[in-house]
Amino acid sequence: MARHEASQPVTRLWLALPYLLAVLAATLTLGSGGNAQAPLVVAICAGVLVWHTWWAVLHPDWLEHRTAPMLVYFVGFLAGSAWLFHLSFGFMLLYLVCFALAFVALPGPWAYLGVALTVAAMLLLPGLVTPSLDNLVLVLAGGVLTVVAGWSIRKVETESAGRRAALADLRRSTAELERAMADNAQLQTELLENAHQQGIARERARIAAEIHDTLAADLAGIVAQLEALVVEMREPDVAARARRSLEVARAALRQARSSVTDMRASIVGDGLADAIERLVRGAAATSTTKVDFAVDGEREPVPDMIADALVRTTGEALRNALRHAGPGSVMVTLSFLGETVSVDVVDDGRGFDPEAHRTGNGLAIIAERMAEVGGRVEVASAPGSGTTLTLIAPLEAEAVP
């Protein structure tokens, strides 16, 4: 059953029509003169309009929804209209509005009862219509036509309401489907990215294994051979050269093992903080120097390429500090700074002049790796004052200002 509201044009028309017809009939009645009942007509007419205003116009949500109030309204309006029709034939049109108001106000089958009451009152109440076969047929035919018209209109309204509900469901289903498609596209993107990153991780693990199984193993063999050679050497010069070769081989072996550690530490699935913390723990376990680690700020996801660069350069900076600075302690701090992430490697070692010419290329390698991911390196140091090396990288793949 369709819901009638005062905002609907047809309903507004039927609710406004009693005012127009009542005023028109009252004007014709009073204008004809010689009507001793004019004050009574005006009083009843005003009462009917007030009744109509209160029950129907001011409470549109009751129409076709509240059975008891609408029955009271309809019976009262029918009685008042019949009384006015009895007093003056000019109010016949106002009475006939009751046929339509039965479907406007009364819900469900009660509307047909309203039509029946309107027909019965017209035929049975004295003074409304002249008793005759023609009038009987005319009134009954009008009631039947009203029932057919009201039933047809309600059927159309019900079907229209059903179509509107179906369209609303279709729109909701379409919106849900679009959201599902968007979620599916996002999921596919994430799956492709994960597959890509996992491929990178597997390739890193493969390369690390190859380094460990070939280069590192060969260097370990060379170290063992040189150690045995040094023991057997009798000539001082030859022994000295063998010892230097041994030192170089050992350094190369440490570098190879460090590279394997760095590569495995930055595989997909490891957080940046966890990877750097492993580097720090490894360095602390193999050194007499106190090495500490801290995280500043709320942890955020870091792209693997940037995290890999930070892990590698942090490892290089930490090894340089322990190897060359002679520090008593080293502090590594990972800081999340909103749009950027930084790593500070601070030692209290011998320090150096950053502007002076250096023979090593460790800082150059660090700077080059950071530049590849849009980052940069800042160095603060002075002879005898320790060193602070800061690695700064974006959280997105763009240049750091």
pLDDT in tens, 70-101: 888 888 888 888 888 888 787 888 888 888 88
Residues 196-251 pLDDT 10s? 666 666 666 566 655 654 565 566 667 666 666 666 666 666 667 676 776 767 66
Of 13-22, 146-155, 255-264, 292-301, which range is least confident? 255-264
Q: Which of 48, 92, 97 is nearest to 73 (CA)?
A: 48
Tokens of 349: 């070692």
Q: Which of 77, 111, 129 is the last residue of a domain?
A: 129
Q: Is residue 260 within 8 Å of 211, Cβ to Cβ?
A: yes
Please count the other Cβ atoms lying within 10 Å of the Cβ belonging to residue 247.
12
CATH code: domain of residue 366: 3.30.565.10
Residue 159 belongs to a domain: no
Please count the other Cβ atoms lying within 10 Å of the Cβ belonging to residue 244.
11
Calpha distance 107→123 (Å, rounded)? 25
* Distances from the Cα of 257 to the Cα of 39, 202, 361, 370, angstroms: 114, 18, 19, 22
Looking at the structure of the chain, the number of domains it has is 2
Q: Which of 98, 129, 160 is the last residue of a domain?
A: 129
Residue 247 belongs to a domain: no
Q: What pLDDT, on a 0 to 100 scale, did the predictor assign at position 200?
A: 66
Q: What pLDDT, on a 0 to 100 scale, did the predictor assign at position 333?
A: 94
Residue 62 belongs to a domain: yes
Among residues of the chain, what percentage have pLDDT more than 90?
9
Q: Which domain holds residue 376?
A: 270-401
Residue 350 belongs to a domain: yes
Residue 229 belongs to a domain: no
Q: Is residue 5 within 8 Å of 60, Cβ to Cβ?
A: yes
Q: Is residue 333 within 8 Å of 346, Cβ to Cβ?
A: yes
139-163 exposure pattern, b = at least 16 Cβ within 10 A, e = fewer: beebbeebbeebeeebeebeeeeee
Q: Which of 370, 265, 266, 355 is nearest to 317 (CA)?
A: 370
Q: Which of 129, 153, 179 is the last residue of a domain?
A: 129
- Label the pairing between strands 329-336 and 290-296: parallel
Instruction: Determine if residue 345 is left, alpha or beta; phi over 0 gives left, psi from -120 to 50 gives alpha, anything else beta.
Output: beta
**Sign for the pseudo-dihedral over CA of 180, 183, 185, 191:** negative
